[in-house]
């Protein structure tokens, strides 16, 4: 291995004492490949297992905590105890190849297609649709919001019983947790909305409930992470300043890591901070001030991309599209073959890349999403 990449392969130890063999993680990405009943397919397990050999940890695609939280066709379910055997099958497939298995849990809120949720009842913090022509969601009543908070806890218990090494709370990418935090989509005037502090109440309550469940049902080795998006494009959407306020609160929780969702790791803040020439990562690291590890992600395709990203001070890196394009990314760097890493998807190698048909079709039909398409 080229010595300049040594740091990518240094072990990392969480505050709970669990050690990762390197700094490289598989990012959570929807794959549309589960059975209609919400159980995991063999093709899905094979896809993850094929990418679990080099990375230290795999964060699964998001799974929904309540029936009205299903955000994607053929998304795997975690909303009932009946799903524990299915969830366990996926965890074992990842762990058998030497990686930690982290279950990402979420509720899609207003992003859920009406045909995927019971009676087409799409819910959110307020009646603000996801976009022009989208379904207008029904605002959740306070009790319903409390029930969803409890459902996040119940799904965490299922992850523990299914043998996962941890869970990641999906508070990013415009889904329900972010909808409650966003001044654009949250126009409530109860304890879950209004001021910045009240808009933080729902995400922080979910963290507290999950930490309570972990303390009751798991030991200290169970990992809990939280994923967030730094900004929203809407004029009255989340600003970098508001995100830094939330991150400041999250850094004082008993979380094992925070995970910023970025399309470009080195992207600059859009607004709400003094210097928009500074990267979002810089602002986040400054606010966190070593209280909790920050995981970064976003268009890391080459070993040099990863080295530069780690040089910012972020201790963990997630590979998303890069590890779909090149399942042996980590092994090639370790073997000194970083020049052989594919950075564009080879349209003739679906079988060799072990990508399920639904995900492959989604990639092929979305020009610009993946390099080479």
* Catalytic site positions: 175
Q: How does DSSP assign 320-356, residue by residue?
A: SHHHHH-TTHHHHHHTT-GGG---S--TT-HHHHT--
- What is d(CA 162, CA 125) in angstroms, rounded to the nearest whole number? 31
Handedness of CA 108, 324, 360, 90 (dihedral sign): negative
- What is d(CA 125, CA 128) in angstroms, rounded to the nearest whole number? 8
- What is d(CA 258, CA 227) in angstroms, rounded to the nearest whole number? 6
Q: In sequence order, what are the residues at sequence separation of 6 or more whose Cβ sits closer than 8 angstroms to the Cβ of residue 47?
A: 31, 33, 354, 355, 356, 359
- What is d(CA 160, CA 287) in angstroms, rounded to the nearest whole number? 31
Backbone angles phi, psi at 66, to 5 degrees: -140, 155
Residue carrying structure tokens 């300049």: 4
3-state helix, strand, coil in the chain (%, to 5): 40, 15, 45
**Vertex 262, ends 256 and 267: CA angle to 5°?**
120
Burial 224-244 (b: 16+ CB within 10 A, else e): bbbbbbbbbeeeebbbbebbb
- What is d(CA 62, CA 106) in angstroms, rounded to the nearest whole number? 6
What's CA 211's distance to the chain center, in Å?
Answer: 18
- What is d(CA 186, CA 139) in angstroms, rounded to the nearest whole number? 9
């Amino acid at each position: 291995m080229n010595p300049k990449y040594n740091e990518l392969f240094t072990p990392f130890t969480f505050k709970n004492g669990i050690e990762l063999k390197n700094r490289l993680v598989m990012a959570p990405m929807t794959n549309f490949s589960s059975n209609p009943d919400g159980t995991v397919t063999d093709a899905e397990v094979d896809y993850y297992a094929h990418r679990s050999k080099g990375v230290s940890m795999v964060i699964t695609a998001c799974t929904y905590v309540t029936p009205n939280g299903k955000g994607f066709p053929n998304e795997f379910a975690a909303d009932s105890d009946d799903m524990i055997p299915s969830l366990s099958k996926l965890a074992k497939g990842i762990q058998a190849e030497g990686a930690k298995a982290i279950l990402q849990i979420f509720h899609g809120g207003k992003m859920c297609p009406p045909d995927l949720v019971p009676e087409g009842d799409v819910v959110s913090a307020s009646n603000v649709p996801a976009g022009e022509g989208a379904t207008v969601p029904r605002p959740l009543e306070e009790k319903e919001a409390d029930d969803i908070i409890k459902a996040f806890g119940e799904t965490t218990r299922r992850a523990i019983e299914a043998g996962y090494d941890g869970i990641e709370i999906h508070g990013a990418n415009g889904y329900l947790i972010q909808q409650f935090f966003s001044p654009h989509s949250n126009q409530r005037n109860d304890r879950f909305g209004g001021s910045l502090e009240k808009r933080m109440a729902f995400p922080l309550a979910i963290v507290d409930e999950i930490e309570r469940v972990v303390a009751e049902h798991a030991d200290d080795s169970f990992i809990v992470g939280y994923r967030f998006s730094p900004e929203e494009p809407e004029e009255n959407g989340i600003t970098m300043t508001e995100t830094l306020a939330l991150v400041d609160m999250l850094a004082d929780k008993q979380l094992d890591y925070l995970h910023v969702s970025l399309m470009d790791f080195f992207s600059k803040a859009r607004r709400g901070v003094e210097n928009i020439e500074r990267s979002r990562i810089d602002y986040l690291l400054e606010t966190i001030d070593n209280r909790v590890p920050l995981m970064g992600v976003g268009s890391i395709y080459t070993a040099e991309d990863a080295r530069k990203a780690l040089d910012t001070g972020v201790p963990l890196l997630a590979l998303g599209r890069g590890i779909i394009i090149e399942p042996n990314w980590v092994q090639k760097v370790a073997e000194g073959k970083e020049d052989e890493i594919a950075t564009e998807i080879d349209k003739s190698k679906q079988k060799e890349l072990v990508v399920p048909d639904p995900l492959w079709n989604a990639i092929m039909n979305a020009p610009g999403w993946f390099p080479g398409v």
